[in-house]
């Protein structure tokens, strides 16, 4: 299934079931709780991990639809950006973006803000 179709199906289910379709902060909080449930399932060695990860994907798809984001386009674009990035290891072994390498955004985020090197998002 393509991401775009999953996004539309997740949204249709939210509407049909009467789930939240307008409260963005609430949706982010609910997404956070789904991530916590997936972590807990993994930590306990539960067989529920795949279903919990699916819940996360469904919440992200619904949130993208709520925000008017074409998630498939965004994921494809982000994968391309990540593929072109270079990283270097800090003395503690943590990988960070190599600021010396050119990036698609010139080191700035979507709002033109520049930030310190950080781990891959």
| Cα distance between the two ends of the chain | 24
Closest to 63 measured CA to CA, from 3, 11, 5, 6: 11
Domain positions in the chain: 3-74, 85-121
- What pLDDT score was predicted for residue 74? 97
pTM score = 0.76
- What CA–CA distance (Å, rounded) separates 82 from 84? 5
3-74: CATH number: 1.10.287
- What pLDDT score was predicted for residue 113? 43
Per-residue pLDDT of the chain (121 residues; tens, 9 = 90+): 999 999 999 999 999 999 999 999 999 999 999 999 999 999 999 999 999 999 999 999 999 999 999 999 999 999 999 999 999 999 999 999 987 655 555 555 544 444 444 444 4
């Amino acid at each position: 299934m393509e991401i775009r179709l999953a996004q539309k199906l997740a949204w249709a289910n939210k509407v049909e079931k009467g789930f939240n379709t307008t409260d963005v902060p609430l949706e982010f909080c609910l997404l956070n709780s789904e991530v916590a449930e997936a972590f807990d399932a993994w930590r306990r060695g539960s067989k529920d991990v795949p279903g919990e990860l699916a819940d996360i994907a469904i919440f992200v798809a619904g949130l993208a639809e709520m925000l008017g984001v074409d998630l498939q386009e965004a994921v494809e674009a982000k994968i391309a950006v990540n593929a072109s990035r270079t990283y270097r290891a800090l003395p503690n072994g943590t990988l960070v973006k190599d600021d010396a390498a050119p990036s698609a955004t010139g080191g700035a985020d979507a709002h033109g803000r520049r930030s310190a090197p950080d781990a891959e998002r």
